[in-house]
Structures are given as C-alpha cells and as structure tokens.
A and B are shown apart, each in its own frame.
Chain A
C-alpha cells in the first residue's frame, strides 16, 4: 500500500529553524501537500509542491524530490504559535487522486 512516513515528534526553540521530513513508499504521486493542525483544531493547508524543488511562503518552505521519494517542510524564525502537528499528504498515481496522509509530526516550540 501507499505510505508516507514522518517523525512523530520534533522539539525546537523559539527563533530557530526546523525541518520536518516526509518519505514515501510508492511508485509515484502527483504532488506533496503540507497541512498544519493545532491541538483541538482542524487541519489547515500550508503548501503544495506539484513539481520537484522548493516552494516558499513567508517563514514556511516546502521541498519535493521525486527521485529521492522525499520531501520536507522548513519552518524558519520559529514562534510559539508554530507549536502544532504537521502532516504531509500525497496523491498516489494508482489511488484515484485521493490524498494519503502521513501520521503527522508534533512540533513543540520552547522559549
């Protein structure tokens, strides 16, 4: 089956840079999305990589390399409000365009 793997938890300090990795076990997919979810809240869209390379949106950047079956979300100038869970999601070629989510990475930002 299709699976996207992420670290379960990452801790960083305020002002630092953190990278959340996402590796996948599939023959390929259309793109990679990232979603943020605060405790008790709903997932919200952060970014989408349709092509290999880096996409930048303010303090957040996302990267995709299909040849390496790998992507990451980079958060810069960390703020306390960035403490949340982050999910990568892909659309495998053989899954009818349905999103498959990774298990999520819980980011804790400390002062």
Chain B
C-alpha cells in the first residue's frame, strides 16, 4: 500500500507556464487537501475536497484550481505560474473531512522563475 503519492518530486518552472501537480491516494479516503508550506508560515490550505465530485476553497486559493473526478485523484493546477507560488506543496487525505487525522504525501518542491 503506497498511501499518498505526489508527482513530480520537484519542478522548476518558468513564470506564466501552466503546471499540474498530481496526487493519488489508495486508502479510499473521502477527503483530500492541498497545502503549501513556506518557511515560518506553517501549512496553509489551498483547496480541499469533501468527497469525489466536490471541492472547496481554503485559506489561499487564488491562482490555483483543483478537480476531484474520482476518489483517488486530486490534481492541483497552476494556470499561469508566478514566482510567489514557489513553495513546497503537500497533498493530504483523511477518512472524512474535519477532525480526522490527515495523512500527507511526500510533497512537491516547486520553483517558479
């Protein structure tokens, strides 16, 4: 059982380019999340999904979009990357949305130049 996988592990991207970060879980969890982590700021929620077919905005959603076509996959798209989106991105999942323990993927380190 892999848990949560993310791809790519790291990426350098030119400003203005489109980029999709992939996230897949095999635990059949209903809820999934995308966070960004910047030094000194902890983890900030970008978008979340309560269950397949539904998504919601977190604390810092601007410039990002998500989709949840099925239970396992929750891709994060940057339509037109900007340098302020340089960060480490973590995908997470939990059995249900809310108070359940969240399980995190290994992260994607993204640099936008």
Question: Which A residues are CB-close (under 8 A) to B58?
Answer: 98
Residues of B within 8 A of A97 (CB): 97-99
Chain A residue nearest in CB terms to B44: A101
User: Could you say which of B98, B99, B106 contacts A42, with CB atoms under 8 Å apart?
Assistant: B106
CA separation between A96 and B90, bound complex, in Å?
Answer: 20
Interface size on A, residues (CB 8 A): 23
- B64 in the interface, Cβ–Cβ < 8 Å? no
Q: Which residues on the A side are within 8 Å of B92 (C-beta)? A: 43
Cβ–Cβ < 8 Å partners of B106 in chain A:
41-42
Q: Which partner residue on chain B sits nearest A97 by CB separation?
A: B98
B98 touches A91 (CB 8 A): yes
Given the complex of chains A and B, what is the CA–CA distance between A97 and B42 in angstroms?
18
The answer to whether A45 and B42 have CB atoms under 8 Å apart is: no
Bound Cα distance A44, B3 (Å): 12
- Distance in angstroms from B9 CB to nearest chain A CB is 11
Least Cβ–Cβ distance between B58 and chain A, in angstroms:
6
Asked whether, in the complex, the Cβ of B45 is within 8 Å of the Cβ of A45, the reply is no
Whether, in the assembled complex, A104 has its beta carbon less than 8 Å from a beta carbon of chain B, the answer is yes
- What are 12 A-B pairs with beta-carbon distances under 8 A? A42-B90, A43-B90, A45-B102, A50-B99, A87-B42, A97-B98, A98-B58, A99-B33, A101-B43, A103-B41, A103-B42, A104-B40
Name A's B-contacting residues (CB within 8 A). 8, 30-31, 33, 41-45, 48, 50, 87, 89, 91, 96-104
Q: Which residues of B contact A (CB under 8 A)?
A: 33, 35, 40-45, 48, 56, 58-59, 90, 92, 97-99, 101-107
Task: Give the top 4 A-B pairs by smallest Cβ distance, nearest first.
Answer: A97-B98, A42-B104, A101-B42, A101-B43
